[in-house]
Amino acid sequence: MRSSCSLRANPLPMELSPLGDSAVVATLGDGVDEATLGRVRALADAIMEAHAPGILEVVPAYATVTVIYDSVRFATAGTRPYPTVCQLITWCAARIESEEAEGAKPRETAREIEVPICYCGQFGPDLGDVAAHCGLEADEVIALHSGARYLVNAVGFVPGFPYLGGLPDSLRVPRRTTPRTRVPEGSVGIGGGQTGIYPLATPGGWNLIGRTPLVLFRPAEAVTCLFHMGDRVRFRPITAEEFAQWK
């Protein structure tokens, strides 16, 4: 089953489709850009603000918002889960449209986050390999990587891991053939056409070119993850001495 609606301020259609028997995916476009990420973020926020009973999780990523629901709870209430959740999503989209038409204050805008990064020695064990693959010197890789402007396309595979779009084409490299069993916390890697930061020490297959002293995942705080989808990010090179002082 599929349904669609359009937001007056957004020429792209919103398509709704089931994901298994307990989730709905709202697709807001067929590409990833700043405008699409803004629409995705606004819709996800509106759905969460609705506080609808039975909605378990709202996951924005790239051009989609996935709404996970408790099908048993909906069935107990005597309603059919999928069309009911679709109605909720459509209502939230219409609410955003109405707010925009009435000139309401925009929802929370994306933030600009500067990330200090040390590309030196042990912090970037794959920097030389990336440079060789790209036909560049290590200093050129650093200049290109730190000179780009990135967008947080999604946050996943572990809490707080930002998938950053905007990597220069000249730095695209395949993931490592053999993943590492342990990637240090704060490591910055390149995987295909994206760059990302490991918030925790985990296994990983991205090429590690540096490390940041920032703490990305803070489970004891009200806002646990430093990055949110749609945020803008820049990297600022620092020395090993500055990295040690930061810690």
What confidence tens digit (pLDDT) does each residue in 126-158 have? 999 999 999 999 999 999 999 999 999 999 889
> Do 67 and 165 sit in the same domain of this protein?
no
> Do 142 and 205 sit in the same domain of this protein?
yes
> Do 124 and 241 sit in the same domain of this protein?
yes
Residue 188 has pLDDT above 60, yes or no: yes
d(CA 57, CA 159): 14
pLDDT (tens digit, 9 = 90+) per residue, 54-110? Answer: 899 999 988 899 999 998 887 766 778 899 999 999 999 988 887 766 665 555 566
State the pLDDT at residue 247.
67
> Do 145 and 238 sit in the same domain of this protein?
yes
State the pLDDT at residue 36.
85
Give the domain extent around 32: 3-101
Residue 107 lies in a domain: no
Which distant-in-sequence residues (6+ apart) come within 8 Å of 92 by Cβ?
43, 46, 47, 50
Q: Average pLDDT, stretch 189-217?
A: 96
Q: Average pLDDT, stretch 110-126?
A: 93
Last residue of a domain, one of 78, 101, 124: 101
> Do 155 and 218 sit in the same domain of this protein?
yes
Residue 106 lies in a domain: no
pTM for this structure?
0.81
Q: 196 with 188: CB under 8 angstroms? A: yes
Angle, alpha carbons 209-120-200 (nearest 5°): 55
